[in-house]
Amino acid sequence: MRLKPNLMQDQYGNIFYRKTIAGNRVIINAYTKNKTTANRLHTALEYQALMEHYAPQDKLIFRSFKELVKTYLKAEHNWSKASEEQSRVVLNHYLKTGKLPHNKETARGYQTRINACINWGLKQGYKTDHELMPVNKKKARFRVFDKRELSLLMNEVQDDDFQEFIKFAYFTGARRGEINKLKPYQCQPTRLQVTGKSGTRFIKLNAQARNILSCSKLWSYELDFVTKKFKWNARRLDIKDARFHDLRRTFGLNLIKGGMPIFQVSKLLGHSSVKVTEEHYAPLLIDDIEDFDLPT
């Protein structure tokens, strides 16, 4: 089926009405990929285009998604180097292929970064020809290490430097992206100043973490290396379903079980609020509630 005049379909299948009026190009999203539906909307889209030109309701500037991505990546953001590189790789790869990866977790990461770009554009006064993508909520993960597993990770990992890195991650509760490329100027006597997922924050250094910093050189690992090296060691030690981030979750849980107020744990983890901490750790504490009887 052919589209009616002024209707066009992009590489992602989205259909738009495009018309130049008095030298001004107006593009209206039909919000459909179905040609029959778009043709039925032709008159309404034409009217909307005329209204947008002669009686504009906003001052949004149109940018094609490709142009918006370029503008977005050139803009200043409070990103870590790792986040900046990941955004650049993901968005440029999506522009080139127009497709999401087959892996669900990887695809979710693409969708999140694409939406971040579009939402940033709207805040800057740009509209684009790409819709926001529906992102399925990530399934919560509640994996923590027990005493046996933690002992193995603290003492039996191959590569002494990487084992110290694992210990430091556990003793600080830091995210891997916050500590895998530490610079000397970030290290203060009792804390680190880092930039990561939650922006710039301070990480408390307890005596165990300070001792590691005093005896070890700073690490400079790629994120992919940390993931693969950790999982390889976990498999070697027969620790099932292990991820590096589980060290951070175990850090928080052990502090709570040790009696530290959840408000302080929330601050140490760099959570935006105590509510976030409660949502993450309440399910992990259900087994610690003593047995009880109800009246019958």
| Shared domain check, 152 and 263 | yes
Please state the rounded mean pLDDT for residues 18-25.
Answer: 84
**269 domain-assigned:** yes
Q: Judge whether 251 and 267 are in contact, CB under 8 Å.
A: no
**132 domain-assigned:** no
Task: For 233-257, write each residue's pLDDT tens digit.
Answer: 999 999 999 999 999 999 999 999 9
Range of the domain at 46: 7-57
**1 domain-assigned:** no
**294 domain-assigned:** no
Q: Quote the pLDDT of residue 272.
A: 85
| Shared domain check, 220 and 158 | yes
**293 domain-assigned:** no
Q: Cβ neighbours of residue 234 under 8 Å, at least 6 residues apart?
A: 153, 240, 242
| Shared domain check, 158 and 273 | yes
| Shared domain check, 162 and 117 | no
| Shared domain check, 284 and 183 | yes
71 pLDDT exceeds 60?
A: yes
| Shared domain check, 69 and 14 | no
Task: For 35-54, write each residue's pLDDT tens digit.
Answer: 999 899 999 888 888 887 77
55 pLDDT exceeds 70?
A: no
pLDDT band at 263 (very low <50, low <70, confident <90, very high): very high
Q: Judge whether 168 and 209 are in contact, CB under 8 Å.
A: yes
Q: Quote the pLDDT of residue 59.
A: 62
Number of separate domains in the chain: 3
Beta strands in the chain (DSSP E): 7-9, 15-21, 24-29, 61-62, 126-127, 191-196, 199-204
Radius of gyration (C-alpha) of the chain in whole angstroms: 25
**196 domain-assigned:** yes
Q: Quote the pLDDT of residue 56.
A: 60
| Shared domain check, 281 and 154 | yes
| Shared domain check, 88 and 117 | yes
Task: For 181-220, write each residue's pLDDT tens digit.
Answer: 888 999 999 999 988 766 788 999 999 999 998 887 899 8
Q: Tell me the range of 149-153, 157-161, 259-263 where mean pLDDT is highest.
A: 149-153
| Shared domain check, 222 and 123 | no
Percent of the chain surpassing pLDDT 70: 97
pLDDT band at 165 (very low <50, low <70, confident <90, very high): very high
Percent of the chain surpassing pLDDT 90: 51
CATH number at residue 189: 1.10.443.10
**140 domain-assigned:** no
Mean pLDDT of the chain: 89
Task: For 89-116, write each residue's pLDDT tens digit.
Answer: 999 999 999 999 988 888 888 999 999 9
If DSSP states are collapsed to H, E and C, what string results for 187-207? ECCCEEEEEECCEEEEEECCH
Tokens of 7: 């209707």
| Shared domain check, 235 and 102 | no
pLDDT band at 74 (very low <50, low <70, confident <90, very high): very high
| Shared domain check, 163 and 281 | yes
Tally the C-alpha atoms within 13 A of residue 278's C-alpha that lie toward its C-beta.
5
Whole-structure pTM over 0.85, yes or no?
A: no
